[in-house]
């Protein structure tokens, strides 16, 4: 099962970014396919936060309604699995949080990585290089 990180979701939603068409195709193919795919719950929260942020998008930030509609469209995919904390999650997260270079905002990436590992995700589709700190998780940049 492939999981999708926030940055790919943002690119798929925001038409003005250079990566939009490619990211939209990747997410659309997953959503319309029959193979299971995943989005970690924290990535949906972060997606909403990023696309509605007027500091990032100035006057053309997504309206909250638009962001919610986008999330609901992804959730409507019958092959989507939303990844949340499991019983094993804390043990995986603790091992990630205690690594020497995991500090501050990288803790969020540790959470995403731990969710993926706890759920047996094959690969996380992301452009975030911080995931290299977690070699237990294969990360693939779908926009290369």
What is the CATH number for 51?
3.40.50.1010
pLDDT given at position 12:
98
**How would you classify the pairing of strands 37-40 and 80-83?**
parallel
Spatial separation of the C-alpha atoms in residues 74 and 52, rounded to whole Å = 17
Is 45 a domain residue?
Answer: yes
pLDDT given at position 5:
98
Range of the domain at 36: 2-83+121-140
pLDDT given at position 70:
98
Is 97 a domain residue?
Answer: no
- Residues in the chain predicted with pLDDT less than 70, given as ranges, are none
pLDDT given at position 143:
94
Is 41 a domain residue?
Answer: yes
pLDDT given at position 87:
87
Mean pLDDT of the chain: 96
Is 125 a domain residue?
Answer: yes
């Amino acid at each position: 099962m492939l999981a999708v990180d926030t940055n790919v979701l943002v690119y798929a939603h925001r038409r003005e970014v250079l990566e939009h068409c490619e990211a939209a195709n990747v997410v659309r193919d997953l959503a319309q396919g029959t193979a299971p795919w995943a989005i970690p719950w924290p990535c949906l929260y972060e997606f909403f936060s990023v696309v509605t942020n007027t500091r990032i998008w100035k006057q053309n930030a997504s309206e909250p309604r638009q962001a919610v509609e986008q999330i609901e469209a992804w959730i409507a995919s019958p092959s989507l699995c939303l990844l949340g904390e499991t019983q094993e999650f804390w043990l995986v997260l603790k091992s990630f949080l205690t690594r020497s270079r995991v500090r501050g905002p990288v803790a969020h990436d540790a959470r995403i990585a731990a969710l993926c590992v706890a759920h047996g995700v094959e690969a996380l589709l992301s452009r975030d290089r911080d995931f290299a700190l977690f070699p237990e998780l294969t990360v693939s940049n779908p926009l290369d």
